[in-house]
Structure 1
Amino acid sequence: MKPPSFACFFDIDGVITKGPNFIAAAKPAIQTLIQLNVPIIFVSNTCMLESDKAKQLSAVLGVTIHPEQIVLAQTPMRTLTEFHNKHVLISGQDAAEDIARMIGFKSITTIEKVCEAFPELDMVDHMNRSEMIRTQGLVHDENFRPVEAIVLLGEPIYWERSLQVIIDLLLTDGNPAKILTDSNAQHDHIPVIACNRDLVFKAAADLPRFGHGAFLTCLETLYKSISGNDLKYTAFV
C-alpha cells in the first residue's frame, strides 16, 4: 500500500472527548487512520504531562498513542531557551512544576513558596490575618531569590492568592521585599509568559467553563487598575 501523503491534526477537547467522555464517532475514525498508517498529532490547550495525556487517549481510543504525538499548551515553551536558566515563578495546577522542568525550566518557585517567604502577602485568607495579628511581626526569608520571569501554565486553584502575589511580583521587580514608592509610576515589569488564552472551554456542563484566559483577563484588569499601566506578556496558543 502506498504510504499516505498527508497527516492529521486533531483537537482533543470537543472533537475526541467531551468532558470525561469520548465522542463515539472519534474512536473508529482514529483506529481506521492508524490502520492506514496515517500520521496523527493530537493537540489541546490542556496543561499536563504529554505522557499522561497519551495514556489517557490510549485508554479512550483503544490504540497506542505516544507522547511524541501530543502537542499541549505548554509544548511551544520548549523553545524559550533564553528563560530556561532564569529563576521563574510557575503558576498552574497539579504537576505544574514537573511540566515546567520537562519543558526546560531549571530554577523554579511557586505561589506557595513565595507566600512562605513573605507570609503577609496572602491576606484574603482570614486565617493568615489572624496569624499576623497573633505574631505581631513579619519573618521574611532573607535568602529569597528574586523572580526573573513569570510563567503562567494554566489557571490556578486559588485565583485570589495567585492574582495578589503575581501583581506583587510585577510591581516589585520580582522581589516583594523591595520598598515600593509609587505603584502608578511608569514601570517595565519582569517578563510574563502565558500559554492557553482560551476564555472558556467546553466540559461536561451545559454552559462553557472559565479557562486560563479568564484568569489572564482578571490579571490584566487588576494590574491596569493598580498600576495604571498595561500588562505586557508573551502568549502561546
Structure 2
Amino acid sequence: MATTDRFGSQKVRRLSSLDADRADLYGGPNVVIPPKYLMASTRDRDLNPDIEMDKNHSDEEAISSEEESSSVTTPLTIPPMTVSDDFALAFDIDGVLIRGGQAIPEAIEAMKYINGENPYGVKVPYIFLTNGGGKTEKERCQDLSRQLDYEVCPGQFICGHTPMREMAERYDTVLVVGGEGEKCRIVAEEYGFRNVITPGDIIKTRHDTTPFRKLTDEEYKNSRVLDLDSVQIEAIFVFADSRDWAGDQQIILDCLMSVNGKLGTRSETFDEGPPIYFSHNDVVWSTSHEHSRIGMGALRASLEALYKAVTGKELKTVAFGKPQMGTFQFATRLLSKWRRDSHGIGHAPSTVYFVGDTPESDIRGTNEFNEISENEWYSVLVKTGVWQEGTIPRYPPKKIVNNIYDAVKFAVEREQQKIYSNRGHVRDGLQDSLTENSLKN
C-alpha cells in the first residue's frame, strides 16, 4: 500500500511478522483534514466505478457545498496503511457473506475491517472461493461488488467451474448442463470450448427426447438445431444447478449410455459413453430459507442411482470445487498471482485463513489441503450458513465463530499476537546473549 511522507515521496509499507512492531502499527504523521472526513469510510474511495455512478447527484452537490463552507480543521494521527505480506484470507460466499441474494449484515463491516479499517491499520489480501457458478466470473464479481459495496475483481474470484477452463484444450464438443438460459453456454465458450451443446439444443432438434418438458419461447429462440448424425459429445459438464432435473438427467443418461457420445445410439456394455464432470459436490447449500436446500451434489447422487438402476453398473463421475484438492491448488495459484499483481508481494503467505459455512466441503477441504500444503491453511467455521449450532461438525474446524466479522477479526488479531510474540522472543534472545557475554567478561 502506498503512503506519502512529509516530503511528498511515495513509499510502500507492508506488515511482516518478522519486522513490524507497535510503532509500525500506530506511528504516523500528523495530518489536518476537514471534520466531515473523520467519519468517512475509506471504502468510498475503493468502490467500483459502476457503483459510484449510481450515487444520487444531489448528494454530490451537498458534499461539494459542505466542502466549500467548511473551514474548521482538526489534527488527527492516522497510522500508515500497511498491507500484510505474511497472511491472507479466503472466503466462501453463500452462508458466509451472502444469504438469499443479500449481504449478511456483518459482511459489510468485515470488508471494511480487512481493507484497513481496524485498530492496526492493516489491509489483508483476500480471494473468494465458492462452489457456486452459472455465470461468468466477471458477472459474479459485479453482483458481489454491489452486494458488499466493495469492488471485487475476477482476479480474486473462483467459481466452482473456474478450474474447468483448463480442460478446454482437451475436449472439442461438450454438453453443458445447468444454470439460467444461455449463461452456462456463454461461460463455456469464454473458457475456450469450441462446440458447446445444451439440453435445449437437443430438445429443439428432437422434441420427444423429454416427453414432459417443452421449451419456452425464449429457450426455443436461443437453442440451436443440431445435425444429430454428426454430433459426437466428448464430455459432459454440469456447470451449475439444474433447473429441470428430469429432463437434464434423461439427456445426460442418453449420452452416458451411448456409443462414444453419438446421440441416438446405445452401447451394449454401457462403458463407451463420455466422461461427466460436476463443478462441485455440495449436497446442500444455504439460501434465504430457514433450512438448507439441496444442490448439485444431490443431482450427482440421483444420477448415479439412476444409472445403476438402468444399467446395473456404477457410474464414475468427477467433481471439482471444494473439498477437492485440485480446487485448493488452483486457489493457491490464484492467490499468489493476486498478491503479486495487486500488492507487489512475491512470496507465499505463512498462513491462509479459509472461512466457510459447510463442514463437508469448506472445512474438510481446508483441513486436508493443510496436510499437504507448504504453508498453513487455517479453517474457520461460521454459524450463519449450512452448519447449525448444537450439532457436531463432521469435519471439525480449527475455530468456530458467530459470523464473518468475528472470523476476520480473529484472524487479524491472531497474526498480531504472532508479531508481538516474535518480538518478545527476539528481545529475550538478545537479553540472554547480553547476560552471557557479561558473565564471560
TM-score bin (small chain): 0.7 to 0.9
Distance 1:59 1:97, change over 3 A: same
* Corresponding position of 2:104: 23
Percent of matched pairs sharing the same residue = 28
Amino acid at match of 1:158: D
* 1:213-224 aligned within 5 A: 213-224=297-308
* Corresponding position of 1:192: 276
Q: CA deviation at 1:155?
A: 1.9
* Corresponding position of 1:152: 238
* Corresponding position of 1:164: 250
Q: Give the whole-Å Cα distance in 1 for the aligned partners of 2:108 and 2:102.
A: 12
Match of 1:56 among 143, 157, 164: 143
* 1:98-137 aligned within 5 A: 98-125=186-213
- SS of alignment partner, residue 160 of structure 2: coil
* Corresponding position of 1:76: 163
Q: After alignment, is 42-51 or 114-123 more displaced?
A: 114-123
TM-score relative to the length of structure 2 = 0.47
Q: CA deviation at 1:177?
A: 2.6
Q: CA deviation at 1:111?
A: 0.6
What RMSD, in angstroms, separates the aligned Cα atoms of the two structures? 2.0
- The answer to whether residue 87 in structure 2 is matched with residue 6 in structure 1 is yes
Amino acid at match of 1:14: G
Q: Give the whole-Å Cα distance in 1 for the aligned partners of 2:289 and 2:237.
A: 29
Q: Give the whole-Å Cα distance in 2 for the aligned partners of 1:177 and 1:26.
A: 50
Amino acid at match of 2:191: I
Q: CA deviation at 1:81?
A: 4.1
Q: Give the whole-Å Cα distance in 2 for the aligned partners of 1:59 and 1:186.
A: 47
Q: CA deviation at 1:118?
A: 2.8
User: Is this contact kept in 1: 2:254–2:264, CA < 8 A?
Assistant: no
TM-score relative to the length of structure 1 = 0.85
Q: Deviations over 1:40-77 (max 9, x none)?
A: 10121111221122112211222211111111101111
Q: Quick check: which has more Rg, 1 or 2?
A: 2
Match of 1:65 among 134, 139, 152: 152
Q: Give the whole-Å Cα distance in 2 for the aligned partners of 1:87 and 1:217.
A: 25
- SS of alignment partner, residue 7 of structure 1: strand
Amino acid at match of 2:256: L
Q: CA deviation at 1:163?
A: 0.6
* Corresponding position of 1:135: none
Distance 1:142 1:214, change over 3 A: closer
Distance 1:18 1:98, change over 3 A: same
Q: Give the whole-Å Cα distance in 2 for the aligned partners of 1:7 and 1:151.
A: 32
Gaps of 5+ in 2: 1-12, 15-82, 117-121, 216-225, 322-441
Q: Give the whole-Å Cα distance in 2 for the aligned partners of 1:142 and 1:12.
A: 40
- SS of alignment partner, residue 132 of structure 2: coil
Q: Deviations over 1:69-107 (max 9, x none)?
A: 1111011112224434x2000001121111112222121
Gaps of 5+ in 1: 129-139
Q: Give the whole-Å Cα distance in 2 for the aligned partners of 1:227 and 1:56.
A: 42
Q: Give the whole-Å Cα distance in 2 for the aligned partners of 1:117 and 1:144.
A: 13
Q: CA deviation at 1:144?
A: 4.1
Q: Which has the higher helix share?
A: 2
Distance 1:93 1:144, change over 3 A: farther
